[in-house]
Amino acid sequence: MKRKFAYQHPLFGRTKEQKELGRYRTTVYYLWWEFLRRSDAYREFCSYAGTKEPGRFSALYEDFGDVFSTDFNVWWRTGDRGANLFAERLSPNMQVLTQFPDSTTAGQVLVVQVPLALSKRKLAGEFQKLLTEHHLGRRGVRNTEMSSAKYPVTGHIDTVALKKCLDVYDMKTANPQMKLWEVAQKCKAIQGESRIKSTDSLGEITNKKLILSNTTNRLLKKAKVIIQNAENGRFAF
């Protein structure tokens, strides 16, 4: 069955070269999976899932399973998991209804009376007014409130910024004694004029260390919020 995703879905190449390009790594769904994998609490639950009484993550585990035991490609494809979790249900087709919509389409359609005696131009204008009044979406803005996915993505999606949060979090986790400014300085995801250069003066270095520390602190806080939301079955930032 054809699936529809709110955002670009993962693409897996068939050849070794295509797979190495990792085209799926820039998708928001891959990043959701990665942030969930940073949850120590969920990792602990997965380590004994099925051997103890149900706990906080039982419902999440039923859908996402053990995200630590396999790679993303296998995880996404197993049981059509990726589509089942993140794909939108196909919207009802535009058609003439002979009866009111049933429970499966209620809330997704607007039932209107069309006076066919009016001109097409007049009807088009009236229809536009109805859309303006009743449609929750706005031009150029994804209407996440109307998402029919089991796990909808919410918030402004910037995969580059999300990857930066992830890289900084991983760098600090792997090097807990590293100073905040050093994390930003060594993290390849962070570029720009704030990076310390060998030609910088003492004053410039001092100022840049402060900027880099603040950047790392901000990204770490954001990463922790995303991880906590992922634990609760949400990907919000």
pLDDT tens, 41-93?
Answer: 999 999 987 676 678 899 999 999 999 999 999 999 999 999 999 998 766 56
pLDDT range class, residue 184, cuts 50, 70, 90: very high
State how many domains the chain has. Answer: 3
Do residue 166 and residue 142 come from a single domain?
no
Instruction: Give Cα 77 to chain centroid, integer Å.
Output: 18
Q: Does residue 123 belong to any structural domain of this protein?
A: yes
**To the nearest whole percent, how much of the chain has pLDDT over 70?**
81
What is the Cα gyration radius of the chain? 24
Distance CA 99, CA 215 (A): 57
- Identify whether the C-beta of residue 127 lies closer than 8 Å to the C-beta of residue 113: no
Range of the domain at 189: 159-231
Of 36, 52, 86, which one is at a domain's C-terminal end? 86
Of the candidates 106, 110, 90, 222, the residue with the CA atom closest to the CA atom of residue 166: 222
Distance CA 226, CA 74 (A): 23
Distance CA 56, CA 127 (A): 47
Give yes or no for residue 39 having a pLDDT over 80: yes
Give yes or no for residue 136 having a pLDDT over 90: no
3-state secondary structure of 23: helix
Q: Does residue 8 belong to any structural domain of this protein?
A: no
What pLDDT shows up at residue 81? Answer: 95
DSSP code for 176: T
Q: Which residues contact 207 (CB under 8 A, 6 or more apart)?
A: none
Do residue 82 and residue 100 come from a single domain?
no
Do residue 165 and residue 221 come from a single domain?
yes
